[in-house]
Structure 1
Amino acid sequence: MSHNHGGMSMGSMALPALPEFPKFYYAVVGSAVAVATLANIYNQILYRQRLSAARAGTLSPAKPSSWFTLCNATLYALIREASNFSVRVPLKGRFLRLPTVGRTSLILANVVVLLVLCFYGLNLTDQLQKENVGFRCGAVTIGQLPLVFLLSGKNNVIGYLGGISYERLNWLHRWAARCMLFTATIHMGFFLSVWAPYDYFPIQLKQSPLVWRGLAAWCVLVWINISSSTPIRAWNYELFVVQHVASFAVFTGFVYIHAPPELQGYVWAAVAIFFFDRVFRAMRFLYANISLFHPSAKRDGFLACKAEFTPLPHDTTRITIRNPPISWTPGQHVFLSCQGIAPLQNHPFTIASIPEDGKMEFLVKAQSGGTRRFFKHAQKSQGLAETAQGLKTVTIEGPYGCHRPLRQFDSIVLLAGSTGATFTVPLLRDVLQGWRENNDPAPTKGSLFASPKGAVIRHVRFVWVVKSRGQLEMFAEQLSSVYTEFQTLQEQTRDIKLEVTVYVTCDESFTEEHSSLLSNITAPKNTSPPPKALEHGTVELRSRSTSSKLDSKDAKNEVKEITTSSSNEEPDACGPDGKCCCRTTISENSISSPAQCCCCTPAAGSSRTSTSSAKQRTKRALLVHPSIHIFSGRPKTKDIIRRSLEQARGESAVVVCGPQGLVGDVRRDVVELSDERAVHKGTGAQGVYLHTEGFGY
């Protein structure tokens, strides 16, 4: 056997040269990207076809109508059900969620391809070929570098072709780096196995620059993978980003001086990808923030964006940019920076408004660092928000984020936990915008790449889980306005339905108050003598929209008598089966009245009665539209999704944004329901598209 750095032969079998093996790897990667691209193109065509069919009066435009679309729907259903499945491992009363089958399969497939490329045609038991294996693994390792850099960028070809946003590729970026560490370790291990019997490694380390450069590169790569773990990223994300970029720069330098000349092109490719992403981001940043490109913003100075900071309950800050210089689609986010409040920090925030509002709004929960400074500034400048003193110059980068347009589905379920409503509320409002466009007699015809007008959706289910009244107040006005507008649209388009439900997990006084006010507003007039326990007051239903037809005169309902009941008997617990409703899953189908949560307030019955009586002496207002249901406890998401799927006439969508627990539960529910209902397996059950957004880094 003869060996050189460019190739090797083994008997009569000729093996490709070392530089060819990374090319084989990218042939496989390119094939996977091509499949994702075709799927994205098909989804775009399907989206336009469905909206066109809806405008033509098709009864069920979201339902497959040909053998081709039916075959694709069946294939999609099988892939979704398998890829979203994950195993839950019981661990000390909790569940450890393993990665989904889809992610695991993708990583394992990548590992298999890498191992085949590393070992193909080589005899691993032959002592004389171990160095050949080491050289091969080194070539394959260097070849992976451009892919790692490509997956790290916010503007990358894979994302654009596949219709996938950068944040949904970030996990793949981390695993690509881990796979590179895996093959680099094999590369080093085979050389050590050859040198170890002769104690040759210390000599090589001293005498061969190639060896210590490779060892240094491997050590930096180990550090990169360790420092990229979730706890470190969450501990101080800004510090993580700085050291991460610096570490990769050092790693790339060591790889370049370690690699043979015929493989250094892959290092240059990685560097080119990095700078392309940075230059493209800089161009987008300059366009979004320099007032020169936006004549209407020139009066505000060199930078185009001025923001108002308003404090809200639960340590939340509302940041508002009026007349934003860029447009976006609901569900997208931007990176926002305010050097005057939080220098050298850049945070991604979901845009909580829609373009039709004429403003870009963010709801930011104060944690630590920059977000806490935002909240403190909002408190200090309260009352000066709209003045020149209260406005702060900010910069934005984006927008980023994409998903399949929800307007193409027959039914959608939007679930949010806490501030996850910043993602789902704009999506809900966009649905109403689509319904309004359906009623346009002569829709304007845009360009080929413009989004089509209208919406296929018939049924929308919106569920929001909040802790207390304070969180609900963030979107109470918008939700009430949405429902009022829906009632107007329903008069014009009969075959649409909207259900909005709020679950309050730990605010007994609010749920009791809302139930009392709602019962008095909706109760029929009673001429019988009132009971002894009476309090007089006014219940006001706040009108959230000038177009509301609910109470067009003054939007007030006078209730002269409010009946209160007092009892010294304290219930054993506030939820079913003696459990706390804060931790109990509530099925709304079995709820006759909102549950009471006795665990969140003092347990004494007399205290509750006196508090309730004191509140009823004051003027109170219904916080949300009367048709918006408010329950105590946590939702049984599986029942909610099942109800929506059972009435669907075509493909449905389930969108969830919130804590990881809620996201994991919804994913499991969708998989189980798809299996139970045998989606696209001859039962007539239609497909379910799942989109998840979670909190975290």
Structure 2
Amino acid sequence: MSTLNDGAASLAHELAKAFLARRGHSHASMTPSEIAETKVDPYEDTPKYAKAAVIAICGAIALLGLANLFTIFMRTKLGSRLARTRAYRRKVAFYRWIETSQPKAAGWIRFPTAGVIGIIVLFWLFIGIWTFAQQPYYRSRWNVGSPPLAMRTGMFALGCFPFILAFGAKWNLVGFVVGCSHEKLQVFHQWLSHLFLILSLLHTFPFVVQGTHEIRPNTDGLNPHGYSQLYYSWFVSHKVYYWSGIAALVPLVVLCWGSLAPLRNRSYEIFKLLHIVSAILFSGFFYVHCNALLTSWRYIWATAAIYFTSVLVRFGLILVRNGRHVARGRVEALADNAVRITVRLPYNSGHRWTAGQHYFVNFFKVRPLESHPYTVANAPRNDPSSVASPDRLVLVFRINPLSGLGPRLLSLASSSSPTTPVLLDGPYGGLAAANRDFGRHDALVLVGGGAGMSFCTAVLEEVCGRVLREEEGVRVKKIDVWWAVRDEEAKTWFDNQIHRATEYLPKGFVTFHLFVTGAQPSDESKEKLDQEDEPTPPCSAAASCATSHVPWRKTYVRPSLPDLLTARFCAAPDGSTLGIASCGPASLTTDVRRAVAARQKVIAFARAGAERGVAEVELHTEEFEW
């Protein structure tokens, strides 16, 4: 019996050595205690960490997908009856309180909402606790095996890799499942990338620590100079794992740190080029570094499949929608350094959008190699009598007249032929992507900041059109439009659109409030503060107006949105519902979210019969910065 036991131990010893040798470890003999050491968090079992990361992320996506399905169900007749119950509204308000609560920015560091922070923190804790709570971190000797801490973190990073590209893609399957657009998922793309960098560093350091502190034995006569294990493996043995790991780590640092807001916003086009080049370099070196060890290449090929499927679908749609008819846009200069691009689209062009969506637009005659995202400032035609007539897509945005697209667009606007072919990539985002129906609310508040009014104008056109057509399920009785702009002249940007959308509605159905945040008015105009503009005849379609014929109520001060929204919540009829759509700079959307979150908390925790004013608030925000 003892002979059999000794034989089994010897066989296990030889198998362990052969197993480690196949994976680049030393052929040095191991003692029985070292063989037993390799069975604690063994190398061959480390793929479970990559699987755990995949399961955790897919589980979160599945839960959010179920929440999205529940939102869709609530639009049915049965769901709409349930939505009017107090118990449902309190539970939804609690969920929305977490979803909309947002800490204030700390300098250039912007924080996501509390719900997003919770998801990120839970996943980081899941990875961190499992990484550091499990022992051991190192093996007793270099030749016994790779440091378990390095293997755990490397495999966790590998499991996250496919989702980094999945969250960053424009045509996004994850967004379809959870009910949001690609720009909303950018926060997960960014924070998962930073986690990947941290895990990569934790994967690297154990090899450096153990490899530099241990001298490789010269029992085989191959290390007469007494090099450390790491130096010998890299520079003498030339093992691919080491140089390729550092080669991948350098572009990874550029990808993560080069994407920080100050660097990205300072020169977006340079950032974009470096991001693409660094991503290609990293992917190549990462593929070499994995070297088909364990199940590593499965994740790399899965990542490639996810990414290239997204790219092929996206560019296939671009080809289908633009191939039959390359649209032309007419460029028009507006007040306060803004331009309007009006794109005429035949009915069969393939372009279909809904209110609040955006396109990535390429202007061939301006900068043919660049594309930029712009929100469509108008809703599509829904009049059955206009099926065969051309539709038009209106883009309004502010420019820098001294750099970027600005000088060329202004030059084109003043030329004898102020048109350019445009390539349209989209549409993306908007209310439809989030499965929101603002027509079901009793009242709406549309909040725009600067050119963010494009989003509000499109929503206004769509909702007003549905009201005039008396569509089933539309309950809107009141709309407030709040617009914060630097220059009062900007009120003419959307003059014709707003007039056409609201001219047949009852007086007072839509109220307009303009907050001018730039230069203070003259003494004469100060006497007219908080007075409505006198309506003027509509402007011609070919020229912009010098004065607005929309009855704006003007205030020359930066709006305090928390105070305005709180007052609006309290002034609403008891038990009514309110939809809020907001688009503008980050500071504006943060103020709106915080005010809405405060109201959601009141609704969620108020005692029965104690709540007053609006009983349900639904918020949708769009931002300039992703």
TM-score, normalising length from structure 2?
0.80
The residue that corresponds to 2:224 in the other structure is: none
- Partner SS for 2:503: helix
In the alignment, is residue 247 of structure 1 matched against residue 266 of structure 2?
no
2:549 matched residue in structure 1: 624
1:263–1:96 CA distance, 2 compared to 1 (3 A): closer
Distance (Å, rounded) in 2 between the aligned partners of 1:187 and 1:520: 65
Q: 2:490 aligns with which of 471, 476, 479?
A: 471
Compared CA separation, residues 316 and 200, structure 1 to 2 (3 A): same
Structure-2 separation of matches of 1:510 and 1:498: 28
Pick from 37, 41, 55 the counterpart of residue 69 of structure 2.
Answer: 41
Cα deviations across residues 211-260 of structure 1 (Å, max 9, x unaligned)?
Answer: 11112112221111111111222233233223212211211111111114
Equivalent residue of 1:634, what SS?
coil
Q: What are the residue-to-residue correspondences of 1:273-292 with 2, within 5 Å?
A: 273-291=306-324
Match of 1:203 in 2: 232
2:328 is the alignment partner of 1:306:
yes
In the alignment, structure 1 residue 674 sits paired with structure 2 residue 600: yes
Q: What amino acid does structure 2 have at the position aligned with 1:200? A: Q
What's the counterpart of residue 200 of structure 2? Answer: 184
Which residue, out of 337, 344, 348, partners 2:369? Answer: 344
For 2:233, the aligned partner's letter is: Q
User: Do the aligned partners of 1:411 and 1:644 also contact (CA within 8 Å) in 2?
Assistant: no
Cα drift, residue 431 of structure 1:
1.2
The alignment status of 1:270 with 2:290, answered yes or no, reads no
Instruction: Provide closer, same or farther for how the CA distance between residues 693 and 180 of structure 1 changes in structure 2, counting only shifts above 3 A.
Output: same
Q: Distance in 2 between matches of 1:96 and 1:281?
A: 31
CA distance in 2, matches of 1:268, 1:637: 48
Name the stretch that deviates more: 250-259 or 108-117: 108-117
Of 393-402 and 679-688, more deviation after overlay is shown by 679-688
1:348 Cα deviation from its structure 2 partner: 0.7
| Residues 1:248 and 1:625: Cα distance change in structure 2 (over 3 Å) | closer
Matched ranges for 1:364-383 at <5 A: 364-367=397-400, 369-381=403-415
Q: What is the rounded CA distance, in whole Å, between the counterparts of 2:502 and 2:452 in structure 1?
A: 19
Moved more, 19-28 or 394-403: 19-28
Give the equivalent residue in structure 1 for 2:580: 654
Offset at 1:517? 12
Instruction: Determine the structure 1 residue equivalent to 2:48.
Output: 20
- Structure 1 residues 342 and 125, CA gap change in structure 2 (3 angstroms): closer
CA–CA separation in structure 1 for the residues paired with 2:404 and 2:53? 42
What is the aligned counterpart of 1:235 among 260, 263, 266?
A: 266
Secondary structure in 1 aligned to 2:314?
Answer: helix
In 1, Cα distance between the equivalents of 2:104 and 2:480? 27
Q: Which residue number in structure 2 is paired with residue 502 of structure 1?
A: 514
**In 1: Cα distance, 2:125 partner to 2:536 partner:** 63
Q: Which residue does the alignment assign to 1:76?
A: 92
Q: Offset at 1:265?
A: 1.1
The 3-state SS of whatever aligns with 2:147 is helix
1:223 maps to what in 2?
Answer: 254
Mapping of residues 228-627 of structure 1, within 5 Å: 228-261=259-292, 262-291=295-324, 303-323=325-345, 325=349, 326-356=351-381, 358-367=391-400, 369-381=403-415, 384=416, 389-401=417-429, 402-403=433-434, 404-438=436-470, 454-487=473-506, 497-506=509-518, 508-509=520-521, 512-513=524-525, 541-543=536-538, 623-626=548-551
- Cα offset for 1:158? 0.8
Counterparts in 2 of 1:9 and 1:47: CA distance versus 1, 3 Å: farther
How far is 1:72 from its partner? Answer: 4.7
SS at match of 2:343: strand
Deviation for aligned residue 1:167? 0.6
Q: What's the offset of the Cα at 1:355?
A: 0.7
In structure 2, distance between residues paired with 1:517 and 1:481: 26
Task: Tell me the residue number matched to 1:568.
Answer: none
Matches within 5 A, 1:20-169: 20-49=48-77, 64-66=83-85, 71-88=87-104, 98-119=111-132, 121-124=134-137, 127=140, 131-169=147-185
The one-letter amino acid of 1:498's match is: V
Distance of 1:369 and 1:458 partners within structure 2: 44
Query: Structure 1 residues 72, 255: closer, same or farther in 2, change over 3 A?
Result: farther
Unaligned runs of 5+ in 1: 54-60, 292-302, 441-452, 491-496, 522-538, 547-619
Distance 2:532 2:118 in 1: 56
Counterpart for residue 557 of structure 1:
none
Provide the identity percentage.
23
CA distance 1:516–1:664, shift in 2 (3 Å)? closer
**Matched-pair contact (CA < 8 Å) for 1:328–1:399:** yes
State the Cα deviation string for residues 653-689 of structure 1 (Å, max 9, x = none): 2222112222222222222333355566634462322
Contact 1:365–1:371 (CA<8 Å) still a contact in 2? no
* Whole-angstrom CA distance in 1 between matches of 2:105 and 2:397: 33
**Deviation at residue 306 of structure 1 after TM alignment:** 1.1
Cα shift readout 1:524-575 (whole Å, capped 9, x = no counterpart):
xxxxxxxxxxxxxxx87224699xxxxxxxxxxxxxxxxxxxxxxxxxxxxx
Residue 14 of structure 1, CA deviation: 7.8
1:167-217 deviations in whole A, cap 9, x for unaligned? Answer: 111121011111111111111112222123224333332132211111211
Q: Counterpart amino acid of 1:502? A: L
Distance across 2 between alignment mates of 1:315 and 1:544: 20
Does 1:696 pair with 2:620?
A: no
The code of the aligned residue for 2:616 comes to G
Q: For residues 393 and 506 of structure 1, what CA distance do their matches in structure 2 show?
A: 35
Residues 520 and 651 of structure 1, relative CA distance in 2, 3 Å threshold = closer
**What amino acid does structure 1 have at the position aligned with 2:273?**
V
Say which SS state the counterpart of residue 356 (structure 1) adopts: coil
Q: Which residue identity is paired with 1:254?
A: F
Q: Secondary structure at the match of 1:394?
A: strand
Show CA shifts across 1:56-96 (max 9, x none): xxxxx7x8345xxx5553333223323433444888xxx97
Q: What does the per-residue CA deviation read over 1:5-29, in whole Å, with 9 as the maximum and x for residues that have no partner?
A: 7999879988782223222221111
The 2-side partners of 1:309 and 1:332 are apart by: 20
Total equivalences in the alignment: 554
Contact 2:329 2:422 in 1 (8 A): yes
Amino acid at match of 1:666: V
Amino acid at match of 1:45: F
1:121: Cα distance to partner?
Answer: 4.5
In the alignment, is the contact (CA less than 8 A) between 1:468 and 1:510 conserved in 2?
A: no
Q: CA deviation at 1:395?
A: 0.9
Number of the residue aligned with 1:636: 560
Residue 41 of structure 1: how far off its partner (Å): 1.3
The aligned amino acid for 2:513 is T
1:591-639 deviation digits (Å, cap 9, x = unpaired): xxxxxxxxxxxxxxxxxxxxxxxxxxxxx9962334x422221223223
CA distance in 2, matches of 1:502, 1:655: 16
Whether the 8 Å CA contact 2:336–2:489 is kept in 1: the answer is yes
* 1:672 aligned partner, one-letter code: A
1:167–1:89 Cα change, 3 Å: closer
Distance 1:657 1:258 in 2: 44
Does the 8 Å CA contact 2:93/2:604 hold for their aligned counterparts? Answer: no
- RMSD over aligned Cα atoms: 3.4
The aligned counterpart of 2:32 is: none
Cα distance change on mapping 1:512 and 1:288 into 2, 3 Å: farther
CA change 1:155–1:88 in 2 (3 A) is closer
Using structure 1 for the length normalisation, give the TM-score. Answer: 0.72
Change (3 A) 1:366 1:519: closer
Measured against aligned partners, the alpha-carbon deviations of 1:350-397 in whole angstroms (never above 9, x if no partner) come to: 10111128210101211265421443234422xx4xxxx333211111
Contact 2:465 2:501 in 1 (8 A): no
